[in-house]
Amino acid sequence: MAHWCKLAGLAKGLTLHGLRKSLGVYLAEAEVSTRQLMDVLGHDDIDHAELYSREASQVRLAVQGMDRVVRLVTRRPLLGEPVGEPPRKPLINKDNGGPGGTRTPNQAVMSRRL
């Protein structure tokens, strides 16, 4: 195996097992099913494949939990939420019927009836 790793041009210290484990971590972080993980990595038993999923879930849940704490304490948006200017008001004002205060035909008829 070491000879093949060297022939493949892998840096010293990298092994096929390490690359396989990295692939398992990436698959789990991508939230593939346990069955998909087993098929890609060639695992026969579900226990070993679930180890990757549990580790990825623990990291993901820990990050999400701490992100919520930071947001609560600092009143900052969650990771992935837009930061900056608040959203603009829509161009159509629902109170007066449309842009620039024009009335819809239905509103015009109703105002004539009053």
| Residue 56 near residue 28, CB atoms below 8 Å | yes
Domain range list for the chain: 2-81
b/e burial code for range 54-73 (CB count within 10 A of at least 16 → b)? eebeeeeeeeeeeeeeeeee
pLDDT in single tens digits along all 114 residues of the chain: 778 778 888 788 877 788 888 899 899 889 899 999 999 999 898 888 888 888 888 888 898 899 888 888 887 666 666 666 555 655 555 555 545 555 555 554 444 544
* pTM for the whole structure: 0.48
DSSP assignment letter at 99: G
Q: Measure the CA angle with vertex 102, ends 96 and 107; round to 5°.
A: 60
Only one residue has tokens 């930061």, namely: 83
